[in-house]
A and B are shown apart, each in its own frame.
Chain A
Amino acid sequence: MFRRILIANRGEVAARILRTCKKMGVEVVAAYTDDERDLSWLKEADDTVCIGPVRSYLDQDALIEAAIQKRCAALHPGWGFLSENATFAARVIEAGIGFIGPNPALIRSMGDKIEARRTMKRLGLAPIPGTDEPLRSLDEARKAAEEIGYPVLLKAASGGGGRGMRRVLQSDGLKDAYVEASAEALSSFGDDRLYMEKLIEAGRHIEFQVLGDHYGRVCVLGERECSIQRRHQKLLEESPSPVVTNEQRAHFTETISTVLSKAGYTSAGTVEMLRAPSGELYFMELNTRLQVEHPVTELTTGVDLVEWQLRIAANEQLPATFPTPSGHAMELRINAEDPERNFVPTPGVLSAFSFPESDDVRVDTHLCPGDEVSPHYDSMIAKLIVSGPTREVVIERLEATIPGIQIEGVQTTLGLHQEILANPAFRSGSYDTTTLSTMQES
């Protein structure tokens, strides 16, 4: 096993990785930027290294230099920042430093959504019905829409965040939508290519956690449901999904394992799928990194995913099987935001910051009372993860835990979380990606 690694990330991500490293006896060099040098969690690291001014977590040269200078055998990119940057991964590897993640070629091919869709389809994981190639004309769009069947969704090929995206409910709306979406795509991304897929409304976001080693084995560790979202940002995740059937779970565990093994997938990753109201699951994308919400899988499987990322990077083999997930777990993302004011970030100094302690409660955070929540980065300040034998018990435990949480100095999303937990649709398990916005509108 590596003796010393560099964590090329910050905040809660870095603190999470550090915890596993400590358990494994792997020394950690923590990278920090000028503005975060006073954060208390840095004291936990075996060594620290300043990589420059604010936002330097994207400075590839500084991070690689730091790893070499500090004699780190490997680098953990965490999630976000450079974790899905294939060039960075390649540069790290060429410098002789182990990259704790999949190989650069895989990161690159899965980062290209069209290529990922094509690859997975070829290997046997069906994506949302749609076009594999960008549309070349309105005529082609018309033909494709008829084949797929209305309603359809037009999406910018290099897009994201909803721009260059148009819903088309009927054939007479296609022309306008096509023209508008192309123009918006061109102005936003400098690329007016569009592709089309079946519009699935009121879908549910289901994702499967995978681990692949360098010996051709890929294990699937159950699924998570992340349908509670506001503007595509997840707020609450749980495992298992209340809606995935045992047959579906068995089927996709088998299929994903075979498909990703064929693709040569290594390290941790997440296969994101969309569940249509009809019940089918379609492949959306493969995230070549650990997810924020990975703890719900850890609590239902007992597997430390970060530990396995390190082990896989050091060429260890996965066991033949992991424990089958059991019980239930749910994660609340506590953000320093004001839900009343359209989730505007509310940075500030934490005058109070404490959580009730219990065996069933896990809190992932890097912050301590007195630490400052930076305006420069993501507004998430902590994750509250609770496990229990059933979904009902977990909801009860969460409801019992939240009032004991003391956070002062910033506004948080905890109140909203309480509303979600109390929502009858959520409680019954019949919710989808539109539930939160519907709830807030009413």
Chain B
Amino acid sequence: MARLIMERLGASIDEVLSATEKTENTSSLKNLNEDLSEKLSVVKAGWGERYVNRVHAKGKLTTWERIEALKDPDTQVFCVGSLVNWGREFEGSKKPAPGAGVVTAFVCVAGRWTMVIANDNTVASGAWWPNTPEKIQRAQDIALKLRLPVVYLVDCSGLFLPEQSRSFSGARGAGHIFKKNALLSAEGVPQIAGVFGDCIAGGGYMPIISDRVYMTEGAYMVIAGAALIKGAKDLKLTSLDIGGPEVHVHQSGCADVRVPDDAACLLKIREEIERLGSSATEFYRHGATPQPPLEAPEELNTLFPADYRQVYSIREVLARLVDGSLFHECMPHVGKEVVVGVGRINGLWTAFAANNAELTDHPEKVGEKRPGGILYKEGIAKLAAFTRACDADGIPLVWLQDIAGFDIGVEAEASGLLGYGSSLIYSISTNRSPMFTVLLRRCSGAGYYAMAGLPYDPVVQLATPISRLAVMEGKTLAIATYNSKLDANFEIATEDEAERRAIEEGMQSTAARIEKDMDPIAAAARMDADEVVPPGEIRAWLEVLIESSYQSSGYRRVKNPRIWSLHDLEVLVRG
């Protein structure tokens, strides 16, 4: 019987950092966190009070009021894609599209995590903008991977027509949402729709595939509204006459239940969720009681140095994420540039694969150190073997990225790093356990890929306000771009003063542009990260993600710890 020796990680923040470091780190991140929080509140406000009043005047609740009524009291809502379309302008609209006009979020309903997809009725009456379909599909994908019940709160006037060319016809155009509806249904994921208002054209298909469809008295679903029906004006026909609950609940059978208003609809949706099988998380805790980390998770807002080139201890990070700050590190004596192991999140087994930013011993050259935050052969092999074990054992895997890239140079290539890297890529590409990626800081080059960056389908990818997502750092990229003008030491190789100045300016502007691209807000706006999260909130997020991974039983492999292949691996490695 294999036992797990858990180590108490971490020390109090005062032992880890000097008073000056604490102040510097905190103030630097504080500004970024505040800036983030300000942007999120702008998104949450939609188009503002005027539009909120407009919704209320119709006797309806706003989207956020609906979510508030739907969720369990005293639980937090965890949005994904809040910053989609941030800073983006649209030719056809004087106003931006905060959150792409839709709220997608993990919401706890009747003790179960659900994925709520709710049109923001304070933004262009819940219309679909460019990236709205993609954002909805992203949420559907998350639900599909974790088998989370999906709740659609539909209040959608259709495509935002002036921008239709960018949301209608592509492979991920609006229609693909309905395909996802169908795929969710085919996989047995419960879908429940509440129709609260307009539900026109494409919007009309979204609820229908849902297992239960509720309609308020003011709601209608139509392929085309009264505006497009010839003669409707003469007959004084409204869209409500054509596709209201009177028609769909009692004649067409396209909806199941009519309810008087928003509040009643949300109550009924809660009842539906209650009817579903209860959460399996308590079972999968195997008797463990959830406990917070002994070192406060909020201290992650202080732990990271203001300068991204400075190091910190990844074990101090882990100490602020896992239950009781207890962690079992696997294969600690090889590939020290990465740390892998298991700990519990709210009592549930969770695997971690993290970069170590600190200097580590060179495996061959005795007494020599080499920089961390880089993938060497040993670390890559360790990650590949560990992730294969997690796949075999069904342990959800959290990646903590702070990676500059793969090792480069003559030795690296000769040692077959391309091959080892490909093995790791193969492992993560075929992993069937839920994976979550957190971009702690740097996330560059092939390292970003090999550590389960977004192209490798983690269920959710979180960034922090200090994430730096780009193929390489700006200065490195400038060197690569201007390579032909540089000497062996990357100095500008010209005698011509004017040319030197031009190259210098070119390199600087390239570096500056990359610096801008690396802004996590911009990454989230492009949907390259699902959400930007202050480091101090990562633990809370992991609680949601890991509970969600264990909530539904019977659809994926979850081995009990006695029979983990991880134990075999350790026996073999330790000898």
List chain A positions with a Cβ less than 8 A from chain B.
1-4, 71-74, 96-98, 215, 311, 314-317
Q: Are B246 and A73 in contact (CB-based, < 8 A)?
A: yes
Q: Does B310 contact A (CB under 8 A)?
A: no
Within 8 A of A (CB), among B286-342: none
- Tell me the complex Cα distance, A74–B258, Å: 12
Query: Which of B42-50, B248-256, B420-428 lies on the face that meets chain A?
Result: B248-256
Contacts of B268 in A (CB 8 A): 315
8 Å CB contact of B264 from A71, A72, A98, A317: A317
Q: Does B506 contact A (CB under 8 A)?
A: no
- Tell me the complex Cα distance, A96–B264, Å: 20
- Tell me the complex Cα distance, A1–B260, Å: 7
Q: Are A73 and B259 in contact (CB-based, < 8 A)?
A: no
Given contacts A73-B251, A315-B264, A317-B264, 14 further A-B contacts (CB under 8 A): A1-B217, A1-B260, A4-B246, A72-B250, A73-B246, A73-B249, A96-B253, A98-B249, A98-B258, A215-B267, A311-B260, A315-B257, A315-B260, A316-B264
Contacts of A315 in B (CB 8 A): 257-260, 264, 268
Contacts of A73 in B (CB 8 A): 245-246, 249-251
Q: Are B249 and A96 in contact (CB-based, < 8 A)?
A: yes
Contacts of B264 in A (CB 8 A): 215, 315-317
Q: A-B pairs with the 4 shortest C-beta distances? A: A73-B250, A315-B259, A316-B260, A3-B246
Q: Which residue of A lies closest to B216 (CB)?
A: A315
- Tell me the complex Cα distance, A2–B249, Å: 10
Q: Distance (Å) between the CB of B419 and the closest chain A CB?
A: 63
- Tell me the complex Cα distance, A86–B259, Å: 24
User: Given the interface contacts A315-B268, A316-B264, does A74 sit within 8 Å of B250 by beta carbon?
Assistant: yes
User: Given the interface contacts A1-B217, A315-B268, does A98 sit within 8 Å of B250 by beta carbon?
Assistant: yes
Q: Distance (Å) between the CB of B51 and the closest chain A CB?
A: 28
Contacts of A311 in B (CB 8 A): 260
Main secondary structure of the interface of B (DSSP, over half): mixed
Q: Which of B246, B250, B258, B264 has the most CB of A within 10 A?
A: B250
Q: Distance (Å) between the CB of A65 and the closest chain B CB?
A: 14
Q: Which residue of B lies closest to A316 (CB)?
A: B260
Q: Which residue of B lies closest to A2 (CB)?
A: B246
- Tell me the complex Cα distance, A43–B246, Å: 24
A-B contact pairs, 23 of them (CB 8 A): A2-B246, A2-B250, A3-B246, A72-B250, A73-B245, A73-B246, A73-B249, A73-B251, A96-B249, A96-B250, A96-B251, A96-B253, A97-B250, A98-B249, A98-B258, A314-B217, A314-B258, A314-B259, A315-B258, A315-B259, A315-B268, A316-B260, A317-B260
Q: Are A314 and B250 in contact (CB-based, < 8 A)?
A: no
Contacts of A314 in B (CB 8 A): 217, 258-260
Q: Which of A73, A74, A97, A315 has the most CB of B within 10 A?
A: A315
- Tell me the complex Cα distance, A360–B268, Å: 41
Contact string, B123-161, partner A, CB cutoff 8 A, digits 1/0? Answer: 000000000000000000000000000000000000000
Q: Which of B249, B253, B268 has the most CB of A within 10 A?
A: B249
- Tell me the complex Cα distance, A406–B345, Å: 83
Contacts of B246 in A (CB 8 A): 2-4, 73
Q: Distance (Å) between the CB of A313 and the closest chain B CB?
A: 9
- Tell me the complex Cα distance, A315–B249, Å: 13
Contacts of A71 in B (CB 8 A): 250-251
- Tell me the complex Cα distance, A97–B246, Å: 10
Within 8 A of A (CB), among B264-284: 264, 267-268
- Tell me the complex Cα distance, A98–B256, Å: 11
- Tell me the complex Cα distance, A71–B250, Å: 8
- Tell me the complex Cα distance, A3–B244, Å: 10
- Tell me the complex Cα distance, A2–B245, Å: 9
Contact string, B200-218, partner A, CB cutoff 8 A, digits 1/0? Answer: 0000000000000000010
Q: Which residue of B lies closest to A1 (CB)?
A: B217
Q: Distance (Å) between the CB of B196 and the closest chain A CB?
A: 14
- Tell me the complex Cα distance, A314–B258, Å: 6
Contacts of A317 in B (CB 8 A): 260, 264
Contacts of B217 in A (CB 8 A): 1, 314
Q: Distance (Å) between the CB of A4 and the closest chain B CB?
A: 7
Contacts of A1 in B (CB 8 A): 217, 260
Q: Distance (Å) between the CB of A105 and the closest chain B CB?
A: 16
- Tell me the complex Cα distance, A4–B267, Å: 26
Q: Which residue of A lies closest to B244 (CB)?
A: A3
Q: Distance (Å) between the CB of A301 and the closest chain B CB?
A: 22
Q: Which of A1, A2, A96, A316 has the most CB of B within 10 A?
A: A96
- Tell me the complex Cα distance, A315–B267, Å: 11
Q: Distance (Å) between the CB of B426 and the closest chain A CB?
A: 52
Q: Which residue of A lies closest to B241 (CB)?
A: A3
Q: Distance (Å) between the CB of B245 and the closest chain A CB?
A: 8
- Tell me the complex Cα distance, A71–B249, Å: 11
Contacts of B267 in A (CB 8 A): 215
- Tell me the complex Cα distance, A4–B247, Å: 11
Contacts of A3 in B (CB 8 A): 246
Q: Which residue of A lies closest to B257 (CB)?
A: A315
Q: Distance (Å) between the CB of B372 and the closest chain A CB?
A: 59
